[in-house]
Amino acid sequence: MKNHTLWLSASVLALSLSSVAGAQLAPTAADENAAESEQEVIVVTAQRRSTNLQTTAISASVLTGEDLANSGVDMVDQLQFVTPSATVNNFGQGIDFNIRGIGKAEHNTQTTTGVITYRDGVATFPGYFTAEPYYDIARVEVLRGPQGTFVGSNATGGAVFVTSNDPDIDGGYTGYLQGELGNFNLAGLQGALNLPISDTLAARVSFYTLARDSFYDITGPYTGDDGVEIGSVRLGLLWEPTPGLSVLFKTDLNYLDLSGYPADPVNSPNDPFELTANADIKALDRFGRSVLEVNYEFDNGTILRSVSGYQQGNTRYRADLDGTSAANSLFGDSVDETIYSQEFNLISPDAGPISWILGAYYQHDTYEFPPGEFYIHSAAGSYLLDGENPKETAAAFAEVSFDLPSGFELEIGARYTDSSTSNTINVDQYGTLINQQQSADWQNLSGKVTLNWTLDEHHFLYAFAATGFRPGGLNVPVGLGLPDPFDEELITSYELGWKAGWLDGRVRTQLSLFSNDYENFQVIIGYPDIPVFGFELNNPNTTRIYGAELQVEAVFGNLSIDAGMGVMRSELGEFYATDPRVPALGACDPFAGPATVSCIDLTGRDQTYAPDFTFNIGAQYEIELDGGDTVTPRLNYGHVSSQWATLFQDEARGDRIEGRNVWNGQVAWRHGDIVTTLYGTNLTDQQYVGAINSGLRLVGPPRRYGVRVLKLF
């Protein structure tokens, strides 16, 4: 079945390219003026400069706000259906975002994410508050592979940069208002307004609100959730008192009442949207973010940039831990998180033969667990935890680029990082009182060496070797003394890339081949000496992950096609471990075993959250009507093949996450400055597991449909 899916998807991509080439053979109005049919330049900003994606040595997908709406993407989960080699498994109060099989596999605050998300230039909450909506967005950049120079630690798999629209001093009183109605009694309203206050000052105000009923029918002592209510507001201010100085301030407030994340046991035979529960489930996130970006350009063109961020939020979560009303196992927490960060960049002009960037970064991130708010109640008793977990990161980085003869360019970048974490917590473990006062720190030098070759204006090749680093963390004690920390993860990545433009710019392609040596993968297994306890440590030997990716964008007159494909393989290095879900008595050495019924040899197994194949394709055609109106139908398809949620790969325990096939479609009618869109997501109503956590399955959203009316002004 896996091979059939691979060949079918590859055939669809080939057919799409054939249809594009065929369209070139038939004379059209676009053929008479090739310049008008060329695509707009795609800009990527993650390397602290605005550069053309087609001549930047990075694998990335860049989507505008319009692209997101056309593809049915309104939050982070859907990104996996529009970009190669990505998986997003949202298990409620956290998220496993993995790119090329690297990101996050364990669900706790000590295990940091390997795919970091930036919002308007600052690194956001690394796990909580994942349902933040996408609205009034300028672009989203999904970067694949370690970002060891500019993004640093916590970006071993990649990074996502989400940038909202800035105020425009010369933009006049412009904006939009959009209303939406859909099934599940969905009603939404969003909008934005640009306000030119003076010749040097402008503001932009935007908002988002949405409410809908629950997807679930829950019976038992607890009879159902109340659906979803989301509200968000953002204010931006741009001040440019002189040609060389700009000050941009953005602040937003977010209220996400998701009622809960209903789930049942992974192997339940029932409809996953019809379940029982006896917990009063809850999922409420409230948080805010403020970002201040200051740019000053000196007379010689050098830019000094400062980006300051402050974020604070509270997440409250309650769940039925056994997933039914038959038992009485409950989980709940309330966590406060506060992040403040500061980055400085000194950026040279890029017109000369040598260009460079210097930077410094600091971030302080604190989790606070109030007394009585973090608990597990079960037949065995109660587990309680309170305290705080502060983390700090400080880094310095630099990159220099040299123009060489014959179109070659050499880029060398490096970053030194110092990360630390500490636990000051109290645990009541079923009547046993435990106190943890422990800290650990890690230092790392990572970097990237790249050789670029611009053959001509249509073809760009690159090759690089890069490293990445993700800090380790602390294990929560289980009554056996203070446990050892788990170590940092290290990535060494090699990549070859070819970016090309074809047919007078109508077709753009990105092809990349990559190979990753993944060391010290952080994983929870049975405690090596006493396997009945769970314990997080590192895979002692190197895992290899390798593959290829292809992206295509084509525009022929009124026809637009975009597609992406990722093929990936992974092989664990020698590793022995005990599944903490299985009773075991004997010791199990991660390096040497020996292999027994409970001490499992994991050598050669797939990396978690590393699907062998991902594929996405979208196509639209603009139909021109009399009077200047247009009607544009669009269809999107995204496929993520099956993946493993644990290294133990025990299907009977629900470790296998089956493949996902999601079709989205819409028809948009534009009449002047009003656009009316009929849309549908998950058109086939596929029931797929969106994540697995604690033996429970959380399913992806069912079929949704509705109408949006957009007014531009």
Which secondary-structure segment (H or E) carries 235? strand 228-242
Contact 609, 114 (CB under 8 A): no
**Beta-sheet pairing, 704-712 with 696-699:** unpaired
Helix (H, G, I), strand (E, B) or coil at 111: coil
Other C-beta atoms within 10 Å of 229: how many? Answer: 15
Does 27 have pLDDT greater than 80?
no
Which pLDDT belongs to residue 527? 66
Which pLDDT belongs to residue 532? 57
Per cent of the chain over pLDDT 70 is 93
Residue 249 lies inside a defined structural domain of this protein: yes
User: What burial class does residue 495 get, using C-beta atoms within 10 Å of its C-beta: 0-12 exposed, 13-18 middle, 19+ buried?
Assistant: buried
Enclosing domain of residue 360: 2-160+238-712
For 517-559, write each residue's pLDDT tens digit: 999 999 888 766 655 567 888 888 999 999 999 999 999 999 9
Residues contacting 103, CB < 8 A, separation 6+: 96, 97, 113, 114, 115, 156, 157, 158, 609
When pLDDT is cut at 50, 70 and 90, the band that residue 278 belongs to is confident
Residue 201 lies inside a defined structural domain of this protein: no
- The residue type of 573 is G
Residue 180 lies inside a defined structural domain of this protein: no
When pLDDT is cut at 50, 70 and 90, the band that residue 438 belongs to is very high
The mean of the pLDDT values for the chain is 89
Query: Whole-model pTM?
Result: 0.90
Residue 456 lies inside a defined structural domain of this protein: yes
pLDDT, average across residues 298-319: 95
Domain of 581, CATH number, reads 2.40.170.20
Which pLDDT belongs to residue 155? 87
Contact 223, 262 (CB under 8 A): no
Residue 202 lies inside a defined structural domain of this protein: no
Contact 281, 318 (CB under 8 A): yes
When pLDDT is cut at 50, 70 and 90, the band that residue 593 belongs to is confident
Given the structure tokens 């409620």, which residue do they identify? 92
Distance CA 710, CA 642 (A): 37
Does 112 have pLDDT greater than 50?
yes
Please give the torsion angle defined by the CA atoms of residues 47, 52, 55 and 57, in that order, rounded to the nearest 10 degrees: 20
Residue 229 lies inside a defined structural domain of this protein: no
Contact 226, 214 (CB under 8 A): yes
pLDDT, average across residues 564-588: 88
Distance CA 682, CA 213 (A): 17
Structure tokens at 616: 């996405």
Which pLDDT belongs to residue 706? 97
Does 26 have pLDDT greater than 50?
no
Q: Which of 102-116, 128-142, 239-253, 589-603 reaches the highest mean pLDDT?
A: 239-253
When pLDDT is cut at 50, 70 and 90, the band that residue 1 belongs to is very low
Distance CA 393, CA 148 (A): 14
Structure tokens at 393: 């990161």
Per the structure, the count of domains in the chain is: 1
pLDDT, average across residues 581-602: 85
CA separation, residue 456 to residues 376, 406, 453, 461, 561 (Å): 62, 10, 9, 10, 25
Which pLDDT belongs to residue 223? 67
Residues contacting 11, CB < 8 A, separation 6+: none
Contact 289, 122 (CB under 8 A): yes
Given the structure tokens 């831990």, which residue do they identify? 321
Sign for the pseudo-dihedral over CA of 137, 142, 146, 150: negative
The CA angle 473-475-481, to the nearest 5 degrees, is 135
When pLDDT is cut at 50, 70 and 90, the band that residue 618 belongs to is very high
Structure tokens at 608: 């978690």
Does 138 have pLDDT greater than 70?
yes
